[in-house]
Structure formats: C-alpha cells, structure tokens
Amino acid sequence: METLEKDVVDNQQLIWDLQLNLDLVLNENTQLAKKIDLESLIPFINYIQKSERIFIIATGRSGFAMGCAAMRLMHLGLTVYFAGETTTPAIKKGDLLIAASGSGTTATIVRAAEKGVSVGASVVALTTNSTSALAKLANHIVIIPAAEKEDHEGGKSKQYAGSLFEQFLLLMMDAVFQSLWKMDETPAEELWKRHANLE
C-alpha cells in the first residue's frame, strides 16, 4: 500500500515537472521569436526564390530540423537537396546552400560552405555566431540568438546544450515556408500532390 501511494505521489511530481519543462520550452521559443531580427529573413527568402536549386546542410538535431525544412520547400515545387544523401548532385553557380550550425564551426558544414563559395554558389548561414568561420563565408547570415551547445552557464537557455537553437530552426523555417507559400498562392491540394507516396 505504501509503495502504491508513493508511486501516486511520484507520478504527480513527474506531471508537475513535465508541465514546467513544457512551459520552459515554449516560453524560451516565444522569447527567442521576439529577439530575432525578422528583417534578416527577407534576403534569405529572396535567395530561396531566385536560386536554381537549393542545397541544405546541417548535422545532428539541427539536421533533423532542416530535413523538415527541405521537405516543405519541396512541397512548394522547389528543387531541394539535403547534403550527404546519395542522390545529392554537385553544387554549382546559381545554386543556394543553406548551412545551419549553432556554433558556426562544425567542420563538415564549414567545408561545405567553402565548396559552395568556390563554385560560385550563394551561401546563407543560420547560426548563433556572427564571427564564426561559417558566418565569414556566407553571403548572408541569419543570427538566431540562442545558446551554443557548449554554453553551460544557462544565460540564454535553461535547456540542455543547443536544444533551443535546434527547436527554433524548425519553427523559423516553418514560418519562412508559410511566407513563401502565401506569396506562391498554390492551393494546399496542389502541394499535397508532391507529398511522398512511397511511404
């Protein structure tokens, strides 16, 4: 009986903790949305609209977020590739590389940006660090003022590592998609025809 009562108490504590943590995640993203320079997204959207093909590169959890973005841009009818996939072709002049790295120092992403620059492609960096190696290579930078992975002080986020940056990437890119879709004016039914059907 004591064990059962203890389980009930422990479960109630866990529910409270989960609610607090959910509020934390939502509140931090809401506050970050108020801090980001929305004007910096306008050139980013222009690059997306005028580029022949779009290449996206990001690793880890940022990679999952940007994979979602790649899917939505594909739904708009854009030609999109995620770097590292076996069917991704060579990048060339006229293409756009969207490179996401919180620190801006991830070696594979910096090398990809260097390759993009060397062939004349445009590079847009999504990062927390305006002075990073990635930022210095970019034609345009979107600064996401979140904590970097190794910022353990909790000044910008109480979440672990780069969680806020990774979460906000997904939200920001969905907002970019919504704006592009509004300008495109293609009905949702038409976008849906491009959705994967080999699932």
Tokens encoding 39 = 């004007």
Q: What is the Cα–Cα distance from 118 to 113, expressed in whole angstroms?
A: 9
166 catalytic, yes or no?
yes
Name the active-site residue from 39, 150, 166, 190: 166
Q: Is 175 exposed, middle or buried (0-12, 13-18, 19+ CB in 10 A)?
A: middle
Q: What is the Cα–Cα distance from 184 to 168, expressed in whole angstroms?
A: 24
- Give the H/E segment covering residue 100: strand 96-100
Catalytic residues: 166
